[in-house]
Amino acid sequence: MNELEVFYLQNRETMTNAEMDTHWGYDKKRFEKIGYNVRKFYLQEKGLQGYHKDLIKMGVDKIDEVGVRETCRQLAEKYSVAPKTVKGDYGHMKRYGIIK
C-alpha cells in the first residue's frame, strides 16, 4: 500500500476527501478515487463483480501463464466491460493481496 492509501485509512473518519486533497496539495478529486479503491478492494465494503471473482479463482500463476492482457481481454468480453477496467481492477486486487 502506498503512503496516500495509508493516509486515507488513518484519516477517513476525521477528514473529508477534500480536506485530504488540500493537505497533500491536490486540486482534483484524488482522494475520492483512492478511497473508492481502498473501500472496494482492501476493505471489501462493496460487492465484487463476476470478473473479480474469476480473477480470484484463477490466481496470479494462472493469470501469468495466459498473460494479464489476454486474461483481462477474455474476461472483459465475457462480462461486457472494457478490458482496461478489468486490467485496472486486477492491479488493485493484486496490490491489496486479494489475488494470490
Taking the model in full, what pTM does it have?
A: 0.84
Quick check: is 100 in a domain? no
Model confidence at 57: pLDDT above 90: yes
- Over residues 35-56, the pLDDT tens digits come to 999 999 999 878 899 999 999 9
Quick check: is 79 in a domain? yes
Please tell me whether residues 10 and 26 are part of one structural domain.
yes
Q: Do residues 31 and 19 touch, judged by C-beta distance below 8 A?
A: no
Cell of 3: 503512503
Cα 33 to Cα 63: distance, rounded to the nearest angstrom: 26
Q: What is the DSSP string of 22-89?
A: HHHT--SSHHHHHHHHIIIIIS--SPPPHHHHHHHHHHHHHHHHH-HHHHHHHHHHHHTS-HHHHHHH
Vertex 41, ends 48 and 1: CA angle to 5°? 165
Residue 30 is part of which domain span? Answer: 3-42
Quick check: is 19 in a domain? yes
Model confidence at 1: pLDDT above 90: no
What's the pLDDT at 45? 76
What's the pLDDT at 67? 96
- Over residues 64-80, the pLDDT tens digits come to 999 999 999 999 999 99
